[in-house]
């Protein structure tokens, strides 16, 4: 049945879904990587497509920006459309000196300032972690294809224009690789809904050196992460 945010029919989504934030990136993934891609939803401009990749059915759906947005789409995919694996293929700001723009980071954990899960188990700070099987498959695919994948924790923030001085520097000093806005929430939804999740984010901003990719480069520079995501999720 159609949900309030995804006007698709049963069977329109494959069990495996790639999830970028940007609807235009979702379209590009479908058009450039999928065979026989068809549009299955476009409610509120959030585009979703289903097609095949190397003979396997797969879907892509944009998540929009931020934890609440990705929580809506990931939850509806899991509860109503039979999706069992979601891999986020988004963008992030690098927190480590010398990390080149375009680096792909596999988030082995996600620190967060979000309060979304604080009431799930009172008194406990829940860990936001991916499916180990998906993470291991992504690492194996990167080694096989000679992709310089970085594996480590990221920071998921509810705030894009943060005013708290020093937070990112402190997180970087503790080994956090990148900052973004969706991964911890996706991992929490995965745990709650019993599905496998992973985030493979591309570093589009160097938050140490102040370097940034352009809007066009952000939209088009998804290929390495998307192919790794497909290799891992279709294992």
Structure tokens belonging to residue 171: 């997180």
Q: Is 145 a catalytic residue?
A: no
Dihedral of alpha carbons 209, 215, 216, 222, sign = positive
* Catalytic residue (choose from 22, 205, 206, 216): 205
Structure tokens belonging to residue 4: 């309030």
C-alpha–C-alpha distance, residues 182 and 168, integer Å? 16
The count of other CB atoms within 10 Å of the CB of residue 60 is: 32
C-alpha–C-alpha distance, residues 100 and 65, integer Å? 24
Backbone angles phi, psi at 142, to 5 degrees: -65, -40
Active site residues per annotation = 205
């Amino acid at each position: 049945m159609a949900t309030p945010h995804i006007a698709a029919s049963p069977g329109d989504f494959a069990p495996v879904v790639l999830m970028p934030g940007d609807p235009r990136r979702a379209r590009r993934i479908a058009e450039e990587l999928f065979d026989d891609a068809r549009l299955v939803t476009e409610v509120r401009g959030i585009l979703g497509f289903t097609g095949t990749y190397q003979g396997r059915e797969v879907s892509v759906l944009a998540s929009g920006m931020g934890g609440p947005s990705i929580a809506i789409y990931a939850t509806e995919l899991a509860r109503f459309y039979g999706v069992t694996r979601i891999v986020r293929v988004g963008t992030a700001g690098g927190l480590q000196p010398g990390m080149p723009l375009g680096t792909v980071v596999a988030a082995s954990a996600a620190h967060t300032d979000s309060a979304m899960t604080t009431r799930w188990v009172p008194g406990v700070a829940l860990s936001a972690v991916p499916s180990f099987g998906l993470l291991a498959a992504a690492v194996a695919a990167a080694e096989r294809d000679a992709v310089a994948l970085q594996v480590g924790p990221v920071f998921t923030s509810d705030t894009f224009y943060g005013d708290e001085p020093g937070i990112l520097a402190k997180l970087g000093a503790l080994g956090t690789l990148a900052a973004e806005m969706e991964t911890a929430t996706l991992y929490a939804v995965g745990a709650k809904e019993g599905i496998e999740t992973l985030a493979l984010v591309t570093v589009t901003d160097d938050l140490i050196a102040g370097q940034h990719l352009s809007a066009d480069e952000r939209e088009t520079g998804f290929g390495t992460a998307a192919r790794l995501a497909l290799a891992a999720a279709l294992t």
